[in-house]
Amino acid sequence: FRFDLMGLYDVETMNLLRAELDKLPGGRDILMYGEPWQGGSSALHRYEANKNNLAMLNDRIGIFCDDTRDAIKGGCFNAREPGYVEGRPGSFWDIGGAVAAWCRSDKFPPHTPGQIVSYVSAHDNFTLWDKLLLVRYERPEFGAVDRAALSQNRLAAGIYLTCMGLPFWQAGEEFARTKKGQGNSYRSSPALNRLDWKRAEQFHGLVDYYRGLIGLRNAFPRLGAVDRASPNAIAFFDLEQPLVGWRLPALPGDGAWWGALCVYYNPTEQEQPIRLPDGRWKLLSDGTSSSLWRGDSRILSGEAVLAPVSATIFGLV
């Protein structure tokens, strides 16, 4: 169940709905999440089911995390405001918060990672592709293939699909969906809002990138863990800003393909040297291919180089 403008409801009502769902056969497996805002004024003045009251909600009621969204791609109400993938200074701090599903943050700590929906685009506001082009260009060509925006798109996907919590993306984001720069298309024509399947062929490489990340995430179950201990198991590396890097060990017996993951984000337009933790690390995904983990890719120890504008993922073998 997905609730639009969940902040218009009160905490008691939402918790009651969760409890009633749980009574159904298989009810505890039903997802329940919503928008933790009101979209305007409300007669409610306390105990709204919003982000500020997340601690009062059942731990299996999730929220769309706009902090994650805005940290990665920039604010949704200002077309020109950059985020981490476009090089906004200082945004790497919030990327670290997003990786741990904000469970290690004092902003609005959730009960568990399962309460956080990590995303960068939904039906509202600019599509990810349009936002990237609007930040970069005064007069974007939304229909064209843009190499710089493609790299930023892959990096954005590489971040939120390696964050803890529940990943979500707008239909068509995987093939650079565009609404021609329209940020509020609910009154627009079907021609603007439709899925243009020709773009799935035009941007087939981006589709493959999403497919590879989904498979990689499934091969390392702890990224989707809902226990409170898992975010605390993430070890962040001391790297030169604005690089972000971290290590997460697998849970014993969870079927993970690798003993641990090392993940690095590089939003700069230069290659960046890094030093891997001790051990033998298989290159699983880089800024171009997210399916290296499926084959016999390189095994590295010691030094490695991050490609410009990329998410790079290693697995301990």
| Model confidence pLDDT, tens digit, residues 24-40 | 999 999 999 999 998 88
Residue 316: what pLDDT? 98
Contacts of residue 18, defined as CB under 8 A and 6 or more positions apart, other chains included, come to 32, 58, 60, 61
User: pLDDT band for position 268 (50/70/90)?
Assistant: very high
What are the chain's domains? 2-222 (3.20.20.80), 234-316 (2.60.40.1180)
Alpha carbon distance 208, 173 (integer Å):
12
Give the integer Cα–Cα distance in Å for 273 and 60: 40
Query: What pLDDT is recorded for position 314?
Result: 99
Per-residue pLDDT, 41 = 82
Residue 106 in this model has a pLDDT that exceeds 90: no
pLDDT band at 240 (very low <50, low <70, confident <90, very high): very high
pLDDT of residue 73: 98
CA 247 – CA 229 distance, rounded (Å) = 14
Cα 257 off chain centre by = 22
Residues whose CB falls within 8 Å of the CB of residue 278, separated by 6 or more in sequence, listed in order: none
> Is 80 exceeded by the pLDDT of residue 45?
no
Nearest to 57 by CA among 106, 116, 121: 116
Q: Report pTM.
A: 0.96
Overall average pLDDT of the 8-13 stretch: 96
Give pLDDT, residue 280: 98
Token readout for 25 is 């056969």
Average pLDDT value over all residues in the chain: 96
